[in-house]
Amino acid sequence: MLTRQRAYRRRWIPYVIVLALLATTAEARLYRWVDEQGNVHYTDTLPPGQLERGHAEMSDKGLVVDTTEPAKTPEELQQEQELKRLRDAVERAKQKQEAADRALLQSFRTVDDMMMARDGQIASIDATIRVTRSNIRRQQDVLRGLRTDAANLERTGKPIPGHLNSKIGNTEKAIRDAYGTILDRERQKQEIYARFAGDLKRYRQLKDIPEGTDAKQDEEDKAASALIQNLVPCADAETCDRLWERASAYVRQQTSTPIQTSGPNILIADPPAGQNDIGLTLARIQDKQGSGASLFLDAQCIPSLRGDTTCTSPQARHIIEGFHDAVLGQGKGD
């Protein structure tokens, strides 16, 4: 029995030795790594710190079986995060544009539909402006009466009562505030024209519609930019005072009716008496924030058949178009 066991063990010893050798071979590793000077090394162990610099693990036949990339530096990690942020921003912008395109195509069937929608918004604002201008004309009539009362008192040597001065000041402020409302509405119109211009261009691209020349659109685009010509912004009180003097001189030179009211913030000429008369009003509209202001020029003519007092004659357009350059002194070396 003992002899049989010994023979059994002797028969298995070679297999055990082979398994041990295989295990030893499996545990043996060869690493390929590069030092800080760029020299390539092959070792069975990695020196301290080499894990962070990266290495390659190789088989006994010299084949790369695994690769460990170098650890990223803080700068590389930051750059990676920035690239991810940019990719995410591009993707969000793409999704936003796709959503806007879908809404655009669902909202309008044709280019004419878009222009009708734009014209409807502009007409609504124009109606508000006409109502505001009518209120301004009434306030100017009230102011003219108050100024007449004050002048009559001065001619008779009587002092002007405080309540009369207060009414004059309040009426002038009401006129300036009304012009501020008109200015806000005109800016809204500019925003509408600009927004629809972009939407129309995009709509044509999506529908593969070639760009065309639209005379009506050209005229409306010119009307939308007319505000720049009768509006002069100024950044601070000192600049506004200087430009106000120039603007006042321009109004006095161009108006065809006598000056009714003259102050540091408003200059009003009498309303027109004849078809060719142009009564000008200059208002200094304070910015809602900051120390700047806007000098706004308004031209009044005899009411049209629809009751609109907005001037459209070539003479009026010449006055409006010359206001900006006259006040800013362009072409005069200023």
**pLDDT tens digits for range 251-275:** 999 999 999 888 889 999 988 888 8
Residue 308: predicted pLDDT: 57
User: In degrees rounded to 5, what are phi and psi of residue 142?
Assistant: -65, -45
Mean local confidence (pLDDT), 247-251: 95
The pLDDT assigned to 168 comes to 92
pLDDT of residue 6: 55
At 282, the pLDDT band (50, 70, 90 cuts) reads: very high
Note whether 309 and 300 are within 8 A (CB). Answer: yes
pLDDT digits over 302-312, tens only?
876 555 556 77
Using the predicted structure, report yes or no on whether residue 214 has a pLDDT greater than 60.
no
- Give the chain's end-to-end CA distance (angstroms, integer): 124
Q: pLDDT digits over 6-51, tens only?
A: 554 555 444 444 344 444 444 567 877 777 777 877 777 777 777 6
pLDDT value of position 18:
39
Do you know the residue count of the chain? 334
- pLDDT at site 333: 42
CA distance 324 to 315: 16
CB 75: neighbour CB atoms within 10 A?
A: 8
| Closest of 174, 169, 164 to residue 138, by C-alpha | 174
- Residue 233: phi, psi to the nearest 5? -85, 150
Q: What are the residue ranges spanned by the domains of the chain?
A: 2-68, 106-328
Strands, E, within the chain: which ranges? 30-34, 40-43, 55-58, 64-68, 231-234, 259-262, 266-269, 279-286, 293-300
Which residues partner with 297 through β-bridges?
282
CA distance 199 to 33: 59
Q: What is the pTM of this model?
A: 0.65
